[in-house]
A and B are shown apart, each in its own frame.
Chain A
Amino acid sequence: MDALWMPFVEFAFMRRALVASLALGLISGPVGVLLVMRRMSLAGDAIAHAVLPGAAVGYFLAGMSLPVLGLGAFVSALLVALLASFVASNTSQKEDASLAAFHLIALAIGVTLISMRGSSVDLMHLLFGSILAVDASALILIAAATSVALILLAFIWRVLLASSFDPLFLMPFGQSGKWANQFFMLTVVLTFVACFQTLGTLMAVGLLMLPAIAARSWSRDIPKACVLASLFAMGSGLIGLLLSYHFSLPSGPAIVLTAGLFYLVSLLFGVNDGLLLRFIPTARHRES
């Protein structure tokens, strides 16, 4: 049993990593579920990659300083999200197409920048993160980003759900639907900026999407799915860190693999639409 908590008792870096992954898990749940529900799973992927060029510029300016990396990442991801929605609302291009275009450009710029100036070790750091290198200032940054994202989400919650169900309903009442969409993109960007520092730009999407998709296998109800997704994500953080410690695995992939395990188990056993339900004869039904 000691194996479960001794790493956190003994080592400060493990404690900080744990706090960071719990904070990330908390925000990942609702943001991930909303991305899934609004059919934006791949848009999340695109924004995650868009943090790379900004992070690379930050890295050249200040080295492996998480606050500077975070700021750079925030600026470039927000730029890509805003450009994509600007092009979508002013041309006949759909938002996913312009998002795909801009994130690929951003990704290419990011990799080019790093290969020009940095080593492949740096690239690995940015792509896969280093949760065990989280220091006190990075922890504050993660806490701030996730808190702001969570509060923002609470403010736009009702508008987002209403406009997802009936896009025309809110239009006569002004621009709130449009604004809510922009602010939702901002919360997604904030979540990724918080996540990428510890999980890397490639792995961050995993903590966001896998628990959310897993939660949908258990409940169709949105609030319930959000809570479940947060629990799955926090559980993945805890279990992933322990696996990483005991088997000397890289922490980011260990966390995301655990989330993947939650997903596969939910896919099979989920009570909402799990695969095993298909093999149970459904002759049983209620009185009409």
Chain B
Amino acid sequence: MDVALRLKDVTIAYHGHPAVHHVNGGFETGSLTAIVGPNGAGKSTLLSALAVLRRLTNGGIERHAAVSRPGAIAFLAQLSGINSDFPLRVLEVVAMGAWPRVGALGRIDRHERDAIRQALHEVGLDGFEDRLVDELSVGQLQRVLFARLIVQDAPVILLDEPFSALDASTTHDLLGVVTRWHQEGRTVIAVLHDLEMVRVHFPQTLLIARELVSWGPTAQALSSTHLAQANQRSLAWHDTASWCEVPGQRPARTQEAT
């Protein structure tokens, strides 16, 4: 199997304290993986590094040639990172997905408009094009953002806690979209908290508690032994912790979280 994204000794630190510590492994092309772990375990940090939004402190992420063009990795931030009171129209938000093709000045032609309408249909928001996003419910907004991902049509899709704060029917519909992406052969990686959902819908799981605990088929990765290990790890920072030496490398500066 091809590997879409390969992690090589990835470490990401904030103010010198690692949030993700020496993680190795690969996401196979076409795999559907859940990233699971306690709060503060580095899940979102790792995901944003995969999305090339964050510099690594050490190590590297190798991208397969097919996913190295800009826009090939679609990223859905947590809802809290979005200014949902900025009154764009639903059509405009979904059209942002066409960015890799139209850029800042290109025209949204009929072809793109059809794709946008089709995407809104797929997430169950027919006829919402002209609504302002600041009047949508949380669930409707997340459906709009999924429609944007559909329009972006990327081979790799990263989702940061996509189902938090959503009701059962919205979660069901959007999980259907994720499953369809998997069937279409896209690589999908999602940070999740609901272990039941992971066991039912996600074939692969990466369990992390700052360091990698387990990574593989979900049933094995989420065994009770592994879960106990993840929960036991202390995630507190120790200001007096000694520096982690990497032979022949000076630690690079990291970007601060905002």
Q: Show the binding face of A for B, using Cβ within 8 Å.
A: 37, 92, 155-156, 158-159, 161-162, 164-174, 176, 180, 220-222
Q: Is the CB of B99 within 8 A of A173?
A: yes
* Chain B residues in 8 Å Cβ range of A155: 104-105
* Chain B residues in 8 Å Cβ range of A176: 104
Closest 10 CB pairs between A and B? Answer: A220-B87, A165-B86, A168-B77, A159-B104, A173-B70, A166-B82, A164-B86, A158-B104, A165-B88, A172-B52
Contact A156-B96, Cβ < 8 Å, known A168-B77, A172-B51: no
* Chain B residues in 8 Å Cβ range of A171: 52-53
Q: Nearest Cβ distance between residue B79 and chain A, in whole angstroms?
A: 10
Q: Is the CB of A172 within 8 A of B256?
A: no
7 contacts between A and B (CB under 8 A): A155-B105, A159-B104, A161-B88, A169-B77, A180-B104, A220-B132, A222-B87
Q: Nearest Cβ distance between residue A76 and chain B, in whole angstroms?
A: 30
Contact A173-B133, Cβ < 8 Å, known A161-B92, A165-B93, A166-B82: no
Q: Mark B124-145, 1 if CB is under 8 A from A, else 0.
A: 0000000011100000000000
- Of A165, A176, A222, most B-chain CB atoms within 10 Å: A165
B75 within 8 A of A: yes
* Chain B residues in 8 Å Cβ range of A161: 86, 88, 92
Partner of A222 from the list B77, B88, B105 (CB cut-off 8 Å) is B88
Partner of A173 from the list B71, B82, B83, B87 (CB cut-off 8 Å) is B71
Q: List the B residue with the shortest CB-CB distance to A220.
A: B87
Q: Nearest Cβ distance between residue B56 and chain A, in whole angstroms?
A: 15
Distance in angstroms between the alpha carbons of A47 and B48 in the assembled complex: 34
Q: Nearest Cβ distance between residue B65 and chain A, in whole angstroms?
A: 17
Q: A169-B77, A172-B53 are in contact. List 19 more A-B contacts (CB 8 A).
A: A156-B104, A158-B104, A161-B92, A162-B96, A165-B82, A165-B133, A166-B77, A166-B83, A166-B96, A167-B83, A168-B75, A170-B99, A171-B52, A172-B52, A172-B75, A180-B104, A220-B87, A220-B132, A222-B87
Q: Is the CB of B81 within 8 A of A167?
A: yes
Q: Mark B65-102, 1 if CB is under 8 A from A, else 0.
A: 00000110101010001110011110011001001100
- Of A155, A158, A170, A180, most B-chain CB atoms within 10 Å: A158
Q: List the A residue with the shortest CB-CB distance to B145.
A: A166
Distance in angstroms between the alpha carbons of A92 and B53 in the assembled complex: 19
* Chain A residues in 8 Å Cβ range of B81: 166-168
Q: Is the CB of B83 within 8 A of A172?
A: no
* Chain B residues in 8 Å Cβ range of A220: 87, 132, 134
* Chain A residues in 8 Å Cβ range of B133: 165
Q: Is the CB of A173 within 8 A of B100?
A: yes
Q: Is the CB of A172 within 8 A of B87?
A: no
Q: Nearest Cβ distance between residue A31 and chain B, in whole angstroms?
A: 17
Partner of A37 from the list B77, B86, B92, B100 (CB cut-off 8 Å) is B86
Distance in angstroms between the alpha carbons of A174 and B52 in the assembled complex: 10
Q: List the A residue with the shortest CB-CB distance to B51.
A: A172
Distance in angstroms between the alpha carbons of A166 and B80 in the assembled complex: 10
* Chain B residues in 8 Å Cβ range of A158: 104-105
* Chain A residues in 8 Å Cβ range of B89: 221
* Chain A residues in 8 Å Cβ range of B86: 37, 161, 164-165
* Chain A residues in 8 Å Cβ range of B53: 168, 171-172
Distance in angstroms between the alpha carbons of A159 and B87 in the assembled complex: 15
* Chain A residues in 8 Å Cβ range of B82: 165-166
Q: Is the CB of B83 within 8 A of A174?
A: no
Q: Is the CB of B92 within 8 A of A174?
A: no
Q: List the B residue with the shortest CB-CB distance to A179.
A: B104
Q: Is the CB of B132 within 8 A of A221?
A: yes
* Chain B residues in 8 Å Cβ range of A180: 104
Q: Nearest Cβ distance between residue A149 and chain B, in whole angstroms?
A: 18
Distance in angstroms between the alpha carbons of A222 and B93 in the assembled complex: 14
Distance in angstroms between the alpha carbons of A167 and B99 in the assembled complex: 14
* Chain A residues in 8 Å Cβ range of B52: 171-172
Q: List the B residue with the shortest CB-CB distance to A225.
A: B87
